Amino acid sequence: MTDAIRHVVIRGRVQGVGYRAWVEHQASLRQLEGWVRNRRDGSVEAVFAGPEAVVSEIIAACRRGPSAARVDAVQDEAGRSDLLNLREAGEGFSVLATA
C-alpha cells in the first residue's frame, strides 16, 4: 500500500554526475515506486511512492545526492497518483527520458 506520493525537483549540479542512476539505486534499496528524469532546464525531477517515513528518508538523501553532485535546492510537494502512470510498463521504479 502506498502511504505517500511526493513529487520533487532537485536543482544544482545534478546532471552529468550520475544523479538519476543514484536515485534509481536508492529507490530500489528502499523498495519505493516512482520514477526519475532529467529536465531540459538542468534539474532532476522525481516521484516517490511508498511508506511515508521511507519517502521522507529518500527525499532527505536527495538533498545530499551522490558525491559528484552539488544540490542547491530540493522542491518537495505532494504528488498525484496519476504521475505514477509515467513509469515504464511493469517497472516499480523507472528512469525516464528527459522532459
Q: What is the pTM of this model?
A: 0.95
20 carries an active-site annotation: yes
38 catalytic per annotation: yes
Q: Which residue is listed with cell 511526493?
A: 6
Give the E-state strand segments of 2-67 in sequence order: 4-13, 33-38, 44-50
The confidence score (pLDDT) of residue 16 equals 95
Identify the CATH assignment for 4-83 out of 2.60.40.1930, 3.20.20.70, 3.30.70.100, 3.20.20.10: 3.30.70.100
DSSP state of 93: E
Catalytic entry in 38, 40, 64, 85:
38
Confidence of residue 2 (pLDDT cuts 50, 70, 90): low
Cα-only R_g, the chain: 12
* pLDDT digit string, tens, across residues 28-80: 999 999 999 999 999 999 999 999 999 999 999 999 999 999 999 999 999 99
Q: Looking at residue 41, what is its pLDDT?
A: 98
- The x, y and z cell numbers of residue 3, run together, are 502511504
- Lateral strand order in the sheet of 93-95: 70-78, 4-13, 44-50, 33-38, 93-95
